[in-house]
Structure 1
């Protein structure tokens, strides 16, 4: 009687799927490196595009009038930055310093008042219930859709009736209205100020004003600084509003003053160095504001994005 034996199965060879998975790892790594290279390349191009005008401005501000027209844009000439700064600050009895001070007044004072008003309004929309709240908030958001240039003529007519044309109030009062700041303030209030903390303060006997000033406002510091930076940048770059509202050069902000200098460069080329050096000085406050307040800026944008 013979015993039948099953033939032993041959050793299993690696299948195609497993081989495919092994080969996919280097390919995935290559794709990731390629993606990073593309992204970094685009960032480098964007940074170059952004920094090139600023680089030209810095180089041009170091040149005298002769080198400004006889050398290429990105080549250095005789270092005359200190002489150019002295010329700008002393020209026409130091009118540039007055323009610079006006811009500080319009931007810092106007932005601080506008930000405080926006934060209080956004806090009220978030924490209080009243009739027609959402409709009123919708009307505020509608103001975001209206371009500033469209309302400049009605604002000028209102300022004329109020008698504030060609005064500091002509730019300070319109700066108080910031619909987008109200929207951001409501978002920050929802994310930063818990209702339980406010209820505890009310139980302890704190009034509504004290609750807002002593508890809610410190919690809203990142949002406050974010809205302030938006408002500061907008006020510092407010050219058209100043052009419409102001006639006295002693009230000009720095951007309008530089525009007036630039308008006569065709007839008087020596104004070119004044405009270039003055423009370099004019961007310093914006850079300083973002550098000093960037931690509030980052935390505020993160909170708003998560919300």
Structure 2
């Protein structure tokens, strides 16, 4: 059954983009993420106390866990949402995020001593090509319009988000593999919650329209990506090589495109379908033993 965990992770993680699309019209991004993290921490803390789960055995380990959480939950999520808020198209943002596996493979060897073989490099490169094909129908590559509607800073912030999730994956593999999964996840969310509280109160109005769509999106993001996908990601990082785990992110844009097709009627053209096939081949090569 464990062989299906990466595919389940891809599906659960991809629904986060759909949930964000439902909820963001009714709240500013940092406020949305602050409420999400607060409720997630409250629910997770109750579960921890009821089940009497163990906590990290040292303050040092707890500190490492908190840092990894801030990198992925604030650096990555906050960076992506900030870039989109600044006007960067979501398709272009997702394409930039597609560089994360290559970046992870690049730094995993010197930091973790992981050996990325040529066939895996080929898979990683195919993943980038497939991601471009999947998203090509949503991106205007005309030089005169590429940066229309958003500043260059938005591109740098999106790349910064990719760097953060890459560093988080490698950092966690190096320093946090002994953390108890459930309590470690709580520490990560709690650290992110504190940061988002400061960002939301300092930079936003913190006004929320409590519509049915917002409430649905909020609780979907709490129970599916926050609990489900993140737990699977932490498990995969603990069990496998960081570069191989990162390659699974190549499947996310394709799966998200399929979900958007069924939920929002977004079309999938020939290049997108070819791209999905290329991504699948790339992932198969990248995760080969």
TM-score of the two chains, using structure 2 as the length reference: 0.28
Larger gyration radius, structure 1 or structure 2: 1
Give 1 or 2: higher helix fraction.
2
TM-score of the two chains, using structure 1 as the length reference: 0.27
